[in-house]
Amino acid sequence: MIGVTAESAPLRDASEVADFARNSFRPSAGDRVGVELEFLVFDRTDVTGQVPVSRVERALPARLPGGSKVTFEPGGQLELSGPAGSLPLMLTALAADVAAVRDALDAEGLALAGVGLDPVRPARRQLTLPRYDAMAEFLGRPYGALMMCSTASIQVNLDLGDRPAARWERAHALGPMLLAAFANSPLSDGRPSGWMSGRQAVWDNLDPTRTVPVPRTGDPAADWAEYLLDARLMLVREGDDHYRTIRDGSTFRDWLDGAGPRRPTAEDLAYHATTVFPPVRPRGWLEIRYLDAQHPSAWPVCAAVTYALVTDDRAADTAMAAVEPHRQAWEAAARCGLADSRIGRAAETCFRAALEALPRLGADAALAGAVAAFADRHVTTGRSPAADLTLEGLL
């Protein structure tokens, strides 16, 4: 079943998985936020055609003013990963980079589109790295290909603070409400898909041992350790440029219990953790992964509201009470968005709490105004961004 990976001491037993998980939840003194933005790229003269990564790379500025890192996803989605910092500094730096990239692409006839699922083009992979080859084999079609090549998201990364368990719980409980509020992927193959967040629908059809939320019993580290142990092995690294796809359904626990020709190592465990994709993933900070990509002018609202409701204790207390009856309503949030009246009412309360918190977090009047305008347009009316999305408006 298992090949050979980088050399290190074999793991003795599940206690070392528990140690790894505890290290993922170490308290931190800061309240930094970092954001990773994924965008689809379209040719304005041919929205049905795939834009080669090489063409996008040629169009990009040689240097971004805010210091963001530029990478590409397997289907050619462009990702900007901004430097972590305080909310105001992070937003300023990343907004400058988004503007620079958007202007550069526009000059070459390309459009930077913030949407969670490609509305018109079929899934087609551009990057052929060994890891992606193995992932594609494991995840299969159509949903694996769609996830890798056609989806785009906003990932909000948050410091754990001095009470990691509280932020962990908040990030999960708020998930359906935030998913609904920022649902922005209603189209597939040029037609309505029946989902406000078609991107989330794609994720729901992948291997559940690595995509469902981590069960929560009150001990985040123990819960994360169990999740890692029970997730199926996707692929095993056999060198810097080779990965073996595992298709027999075995889990990391099976490997640790002796199912392979050798015992797994710490490197194997760390790599396995990069192949599981729950809606919230701990990595010494929290990765919030359930948010659809937003229009290039709207992503700061998404980042600011998420940050405020998870990190500000007063806002979080109000928001947690509002979402308590709906904390498991992931499917309703993805399918209906804010049109689900229960989630919509909770969102109104949560956005008010976020607006009250933003001045305490250093946000300026412009950001608060943008959040208020988003709430007036979408939350108060019960219309997620997806409800108003058209291909013309996207570009």
Give 125-138 pLDDT, tens digit per residue.
999 988 899 999 99
CB burial of 163-196 (b: ≥16 within 10 Å; e: otherwise) equals: ebebbbbbbbbbbbbbbbbbbbbbbbeeeebebb
Q: Tokens 């304005």 correspond to what residue?
A: 44
Looking at residue 7, its pLDDT comes to 52
> CB of 20 within 8 A of CB of 254?
no
Looking at residue 395, its pLDDT comes to 73
| Length of the chain, in residues | 395
The residues of the chain scoring below 50 in pLDDT are 1-6
What's the gap between Cα 73 and its chain centre? 13
Which residue type is seen at 309?
Answer: L
Where residue 161 falls (left for φ over 0; alpha for ψ -120 to 50; beta otherwise) is left
pTM given for the model: 0.94
Looking at residue 1, its pLDDT comes to 34
